[in-house]
Amino acid sequence: MTRVAITALTFGALAVAMALGVSWLVVSPPGERWEPAVNSLALLAGITGIFAERWASQREQRNQALDSIRLEMARNRETLDGEAFNATGSRARRVYPRLVQSAVDTALSSGSLSPHRDADLIDLLHRWRTAVASVNRRLELTEMLVFTSPSDEKAEQFHAALHSATSFFQGVRTLLDETQAYVSSR
């Protein structure tokens, strides 16, 4: 409420000052129009400067959010392409690295993305966020199962399921490809 009141008061005062400046310019004698003209131009610069500063600030926040998401996607790519998720890697019991989503969470919660301009990106990031949470949760459950099992059979089964053509992880990789391509195009 305070912010709205301050904004209304600021723009109201600027609008009244601008109207008075233009009126002063119109009614002043022809040889004395420099001062009202300068006053009106200064007010116009102030009004446009407020909007330009807000636009530049929003654009900078959006660019920072996209840069952070790009870095996070590259980090997740390294994780999925790493030795732990390699089909020819060790089949022994292990703790798998987790995917990260902090930049995506921050971008979605900070309001740095425009709901109108970035609607497709926001939808894609929500899908990615859900996939990351699911991957990390599945890894937790699988690790508990594998480490509490007396035989190595569960680890072998998980390794086979992880690298099958229809595995959940293949869908996650596809979604990561799609998300990276989309974010890189922005």
In this predicted model, what pLDDT tens digit does every residue of 106-161 receive, in sequence order? 999 999 999 999 999 999 999 999 999 999 999 999 999 999 988 888 888 888 88
Residue 149 Ramachandran class (φ > 0 left, ψ -120 to 50 alpha, else beta): beta
Structure tokens at 131: 């996939």
Query: Is residue 131 a contact partner of residue 172, using CB atoms and an 8 Å limit?
Result: yes
- Is 168 domain-assigned? yes
The pTM (predicted TM-score) of the whole model is 0.80
Given this model, what pLDDT does residue 31 score? 87
Given this model, what pLDDT does residue 70 score? 97
Given this model, what pLDDT does residue 164 score? 84
Q: Which of 151, 172, 169 is nearest to 160 (CA)?
A: 169
- Is 109 domain-assigned? yes
User: Does residue 36 carry a pLDDT above 80?
Assistant: yes
Domains identified in the chain, total number: 1
User: Does residue 91 carry a pLDDT above 90?
Assistant: no
- Is 130 domain-assigned? yes
Helix axes 102-110, 119-148, angle to 10 degrees: 140
- Is 26 domain-assigned? no
pLDDT band at 169 (very low <50, low <70, confident <90, very high): confident
Count of CB atoms within 10 A of residue 64's CB? 15
Averaged confidence pLDDT in the chain: 91
Q: How far apart are CA 117 and CA 113, in angstroms?
A: 8
Q: How far apart are CA 131 and CA 140, in angstroms?
A: 14
> What residues make up the domain containing 62?
1-21+31-185
Region 33-52: mean pLDDT is: 91
Query: Is residue 143 a contact partner of residue 96, using CB atoms and an 8 Å limit?
Result: yes
- Is 56 domain-assigned? yes
Query: Is residue 128 a contact partner of residue 177, using CB atoms and an 8 Å limit?
Result: no
- Is 139 domain-assigned? yes
Given this model, what pLDDT does residue 81 score? 93
Region 161-175: mean pLDDT is: 88
User: Does residue 1 carry a pLDDT above 80?
Assistant: no
Stronger pLDDT, 2 or 106, i.e. the higher one:
106
